[in-house]
Amino acid sequence: MKTSIERKLLRPASTQALVGREPPDRESEPMFDLIELFFFAYRDFVGDADLLLENYDFGRAHHRVLHFVYRRPGLAIAALLDILKITKQSLNRVLKQLLDAGFVEARVGASDRRQRLLFPTPKGARLAQELATLQSERFRRVFGELPPEAREATADFLLAMVNVSDREKVRAHLPPRRRRRQLAEDDAA
Amino acid sequence: MKTSIERKLLRPASTQALVGREPPDRESEPMFDLIELFFFAYRDFVGDADLLLENYDFGRAHHRVLHFVYRRPGLAIAALLDILKITKQSLNRVLKQLLDAGFVEARVGASDRRQRLLFPTPKGARLAQELATLQSERFRRVFGELPPEAREATADFLLAMVNVSDREKVRAHLPPRRRRRQLAEDDAA
DNA sequence: GAAATATGTCAATATAGCTGACGTATAAGT
DNA sequence: ACTTATACGTCAGCTATATTGACATATTTC
């Protein structure tokens, strides 16, 4: 019997020109260029960190957890789940490994003893910084190739891409200058 | 016996201020803001398509394959693997489903009969367009909120983020104006 | 004291990737 | 013509990351 793909094989491809499929309407056509650029750019961006993570037997999931624990020390489990948009079962495997390996530590909440507040250990903080530095090197190279206003413009673009429902939470962790800038716009509205 | 995570619990978190960790050196510190913004922006960007794909029992892997087949009709397997940077075994499962479901078809190469050239079926083209349109709506909203030069600046930024080794391949599929622009810069160098 | 909340865990499943090994058809090199 | 290389398909088994559903425990709130 023919295999699944062989069964489907059609006649040889003709040499017909495959051009002439240009957007006739600039305003309503899909923006294929940006879609692909975003895909390739993000793939290579996270790829940097993957190489470093292999040395620790960690994956991208560990990276994300470590990053947000480092950036928001004292984060509770529920808050972390809300950021990552995954289930607690998914988080637990990864978090347990980070705890056991001594990159993150959990303390019971001072005001609410049901909570487990997460903190990076010195070792965890070192790795989180190393990863962020690595990814920043790519940003630095990129902004070295672009006009000076590109960095601000990029941050504006990326923030605008975030779902409105999460926009405020994201903005709350941006550096002060960027926060102020946006608040001014809000006032104008 | 205490559970894994309980064993690790430390004393209650003190209420010490966790501030005062601002970058002392603007030039060498990690760019945490952009790292997080890129993460959130990309997450929400691909999230749009996920919802639509569920109706077809397809995942992100199918989306990527369908997209590139639609955009580069007549693509050979090897070329697709090079774009996606996955193994042929990984591709095969997904591609088989797209073939069986009639979203993509394969034809033997006219010049090299070992090759399987991939084409979208009308049904596949329709879905690819629908997905691209959905993702473009987000772009359009975003650029509606930003100054007019933002679209060009964003494309510049994203292209610069791509690994140099793939830069040319990506650029080859950008619309003409964008390609020319870059070529001019190359001349200057 | 009852109910809600924050977290941990067990089990089963899905998706998307991987390595390694092997087979077949076709093209290219000698 | 024979050999080798290439393009692809497939089997088997594995890993990482996610899911749903069910249930347990500690603590807070009503």
Nearest to B69 by CA among A158, A178, A13: A13
B174 in the Ramachandran plot: left (φ > 0), alpha (ψ -120 to 50) or beta? beta
* β-strand pairing of A104-108 with A116-120: antiparallel
Nearest to A104 by CA among A65, A131, A142: A65
Cβ-based neighbour number of residue B74 at 10 Å: 18
Distance CA B135, CA B131 (A): 6
**Helix or strand run (H / E) with residue B81:** helix B77-84
DSSP B86: -
Question: For residue B120, what are the β-bridge partners?
Answer: B104
Residue B124 and residue B65 in contact, taking contact as beta carbons nearer than 8 Å = no
Q: How confident is the model at residue A28 (pLDDT cuts 50, 70, 90)?
A: confident
**Does any strand D atom come closer than 7 Å to the Cβ of A96?**
no
What is the pTM (predicted TM-score) of this model?
Answer: 0.87
Nearest to A96 among B4, B40, B160 (CB): B4
Distance CA A52, CA B144 (A): 38
Per residue of chain B (189 residues), what is the pLDDT tens digit?
445 555 556 666 654 444 555 555 567 789 999 999 999 999 999 998 999 999 999 999 999 999 999 999 999 999 999 999 999 999 999 999 999 999 999 999 999 999 999 999 999 999 999 999 999 999 999 999 999 999 999 999 999 999 999 999 999 989 887 675 555 566 565
**Does any strand C atom come closer than 7 Å to the Cβ of B5?**
yes
Nearest to A107 among B12, B41, B170 (CB): B12
- Is B156 close to A166, i.e. CB distance below 8 A? no
Residue A175 and residue B19 in contact, taking contact as beta carbons nearer than 8 Å = no
Higher pLDDT, B144 or A176: B144
**Helix or strand run (H / E) with residue A120:** strand A116-120
Dump pLDDT digits (tens) for A66-83.
Answer: 999 999 999 999 999 999
Dump pLDDT digits (tens) for A155-175.
Answer: 999 999 999 999 999 999 888
**Is the per-residue pLDDT at A128 higher than 60?**
yes
Residue with minimal CA–C1' distance to D10 is: B89
Nearest to A120 by CA among A76, A80, A74: A74
**Does any strand D atom come closer than 7 Å to the Cβ of B97?**
no
DSSP H helices in chain A? 4-7, 32-54, 60-71, 77-84, 88-100, 122-145, 150-161, 164-171, 176-188
Probe site for chain B from A25, A35, A83 (most B CB atoms < 10 A): A35
What pLDDT is attached to residue B2?
A: 45
Sign, CA torsion A34/A39/A44/A48: positive
DSSP string for residues in A121-167: -HHHHHHHHHHHHHHHHHHHHHHHHS-TTHHHHHHHHHHHHS-HHHH
